[in-house]
């Protein structure tokens, strides 16, 4: 197991921080930059382990990707048909986005490839991409009849598809859009609620023909993509830990600069405001087709609310830390329609119920969410990350309002999305 860290209670967070680049946008910048013609320069690329898995996979397929002295990532695109067969298995590490999006892309290449990942990723469901891709003509094999990685992919000519997804998943949608770049005819994905639309935005930014409409998106096969200058905003999913941390510790005043506020991701802002949180968006602007703002947050008394429906995909990665806010709010919070949390890096419903519960929070699991009754404060103790970056960071936030220090076990996983989380927390904590 990786190192444990102890977080002591805090009297409030003060100052200004910038969180690292958006994980989803960073993955897509490598993928589209590699498939484009010309050079793509990525400013603010997230050097988390998940994104490095994507980067190494494209290097293994012959793409020249280098980090410049000024920190900018330079990708020499090889064009849509320029990837080379990798000589070895591609390791996606802990990253579901790498594995699912690349399955779509690799299904359309003229070569053989194998994708694997760590013990957590090899347990996660893959048929959600394998099945619709098979309908397009893809030839993919995996354990449990294609449900689990490793996945072996024999590239094949693909046909466009009209697919009605039962789940709102940007990973499913994006896998099909990437395959659709190469298919014969158009590919349309309908989803029950709009999931994050970074793929659609970045494909359009690179010159692809994508049409979004209420309920879905269509892509036409593309002759080429054009390399671009990409500016990655700070990740709202990383900012979320600091937003909740500041809200739950009285006397806090914290400015988080350069946060992506794409409406398909900003559910956390709406949820925290509905709970009574004092959050202000300042200097709203657009970077490479993505909306961005600075977020000013102050310690607030929170109250319980009901969360479900459309709001769920807009805050899907934030439920571990939302459950921390709810545990310290007045009244009851109910989270429904969030069964997807059961198949994230770990079962995030079970993990938060266990870990928050062990610090004295009143949390019950529902099949598709949680019911949380707020308490005035938590107690100290020892908790587990379950190898999941967002569980580890959520428990660090919970520790700020415990009566005694909290030790979090197995904390190296935070490097998957937020390598400097612990330093930033110490910097703003008083």
Positions marked active-site: 317
126: left (phi over 0), alpha (psi -120 to 50) or beta: alpha
How far apart, in whole angstroms, are the C-alpha atoms of residue 415 and residue 417? Answer: 5
Long-range pairs of 66-71 with CB within 8 A, sequence gap ≥ 24: 68/41, 71/43
Residue 403 beta carbon to ligand S3P: minimum distance, rounded to whole angstroms: 33
Report strand pairing: 278-287 vs 290-298: antiparallel
When CB distances to ligand S3P are compared, the closest residue is 24
CB closer to ligand S3P out of 27 and 201:
27
Compose the 125-164 pattern: x for residues touching ligand S3P by CB under 6 A, - for all others.
Answer: ----------------------------------------
Residue 40 beta carbon to ligand S3P: minimum distance, rounded to whole angstroms: 18
Residue 108 beta carbon to ligand S3P: minimum distance, rounded to whole angstroms: 18
- The phi and psi torsions of 287 (rounded to 5 degrees) equal -125, 120
CB closer to ligand S3P out of 294 and 317:
317
294 binds ligand S3P (CB under 6 A): no
**How far separated are the first and last CA of the chain, in Å rounded?**
30
253 Cβ contact list (under 8 Å, min separation 6): 12, 13, 14, 246, 296, 297, 298, 299
**Residue of the chain from 51, 54, 113, 169 that contacts ligand S3P (CB under 6 A):** 169
Q: How many CB atoms neighbour CB 352 within 10 A? A: 33
CB closer to ligand S3P out of 19 and 361:
19
Give the closest residue to 54 by CA, choosing from 43, 40, 65, 68: 65
340 binds ligand S3P (CB under 6 A): yes
Number of residues that bind ligand S3P (CB under 6 A): 12
Residues 87-116 that bind ligand S3P (CB under 6 A): 97
Under 8 Å between Cβ of 60 and 271: no
Residue 335 beta carbon to ligand S3P: minimum distance, rounded to whole angstroms: 15
Residues 300-319 that bind ligand S3P (CB under 6 A): 316-317
Dihedral angle, C-alpha 287, 172, 412, 323, nearest 10 °:
80
* Measured CA angle at 289 (ends 24, 227), to 5 deg: 80
- The phi and psi torsions of 425 (rounded to 5 degrees) equal -65, -45
Compose the 270-289 pattern: x for residues touching ligand S3P by CB under 6 A, - for all others.
Answer: --------------------
360: left (phi over 0), alpha (psi -120 to 50) or beta: left
**Residue of the chain from 83, 138, 149, 170 that contacts ligand S3P (CB under 6 A):** 170
Under 8 Å between Cβ of 108 and 158: yes
CB closer to ligand S3P out of 169 and 288:
169
**Residue of the chain from 195, 264, 323, 385 that contacts ligand S3P (CB under 6 A):** 195
DSSP letters for 24-89: HHHHHHHHHHHHSBSEEEEET---SHHHHHHHHHHHHTT-EEEE-TTS-EEEE---TT-----SS-
Compose the 9-38 pattern: x for residues touching ligand S3P by CB under 6 A, - for all others.
Answer: ---------------x--x-----------
Choose the stretch contacting ligand S3P; rule: CB under 6 A; options: 37-45, 170-178, 258-266, 392-400: 170-178
CB closer to ligand S3P out of 46 and 375:
46
Choose the stretch contacting ligand S3P; rule: CB under 6 A; options: 77-85, 166-174, 393-401, 408-416: 166-174
How far apart, in whole angstroms, are the C-alpha atoms of residue 33 and residue 30? Answer: 5
CB closer to ligand S3P out of 126 and 302:
126
174 binds ligand S3P (CB under 6 A): yes
- Which residues contribute to the site for ligand S3P (CB under 6 A)? 24, 27, 97, 169-171, 174, 195-196, 316-317, 340
């Amino acid at each position: 197991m990786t190192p444990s860290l102890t977080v002591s209670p805090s009297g409030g967070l003060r100052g200004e921080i910038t969180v690292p680049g958006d994980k989803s946008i960073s993955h897509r910048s490598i993928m589209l930059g590699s498939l484009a013609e010309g050079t793509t320069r990525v400013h603010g690329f997230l050097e988390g382990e998940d994104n490095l898995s994507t980067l190494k996979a494209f290097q293994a397929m012959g793409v020249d990707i280098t980090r410049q002295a000024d920190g900018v990532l330079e990708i020499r695109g090889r064009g849509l048909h320029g990837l080379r067969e990798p000589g070895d298995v591609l390791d996606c590490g802990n990253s579901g986005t790498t594995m699912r999006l690349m399955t779509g892309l690799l299904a359309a290449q003229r070569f053989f490839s194998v994708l694997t990942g760590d013990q957590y990723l090899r347990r996660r469901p893959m048929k959600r991409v394998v099945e619709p891709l098979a309908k397009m003509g893809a030839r993919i094999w995996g354990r449990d009849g294609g449900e689990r990685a490793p996945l072996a992919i024999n590239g094949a000519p693909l046909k466009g598809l009209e697919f009605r997804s039962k789940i709102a998943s940007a990973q499913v949608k994006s896998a099909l859009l990437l395959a659709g770049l190469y298919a014969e005819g158009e590919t349309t994905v309908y989803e029950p609620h709009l999931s994050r639309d970074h793929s659609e935005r970045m494909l359009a930014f690179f010159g692809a023909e994508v049409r979004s409409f209420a309920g879905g998106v269509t892509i036409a096969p593309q002759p080429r993509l054009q390399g671009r200058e990409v500016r990655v905003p700070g990740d709202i999913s990383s900012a979320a830990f600091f937003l909740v941390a500041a809200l739950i510790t009285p006397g806090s005043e914290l400015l988080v600069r350069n946060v992506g506020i794409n409406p398909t991701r900003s559910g956390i802002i709406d949820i925290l405001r509905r709970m009574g949180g004092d959050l202000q968006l300042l200097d709203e602007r657009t970077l490479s087709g993505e909306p961005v703002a600075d977020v000013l947050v102050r310690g607030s008394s929170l109250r319980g609310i009901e969360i479900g429906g459309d709001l769920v995909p807009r805050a899907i990665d934030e439920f571990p830390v939302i459950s921390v806010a709810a545990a310290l709010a007045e009244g009851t919070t109910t989270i429904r329609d969030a069964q997807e949390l059961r198949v994230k890096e770990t079962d995030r419903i079970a993990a938060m119920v266990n870990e928050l519960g062990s610090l004295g929070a009143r949390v019950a699991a529902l099949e598709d969410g949680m019911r949380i009754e707020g308490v005035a404060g938590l107690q100290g103790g020892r908790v587990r990350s379950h190898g999941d970056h967002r569980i580890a960071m959520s428990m660090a936030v919970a520790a700020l309002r415990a009566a005694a220090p909290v030790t979090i076990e197995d904390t190296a996983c935070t490097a998957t999305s937020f390598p400097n989380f612990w330093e930033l927390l110490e910097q703003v904590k008083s």
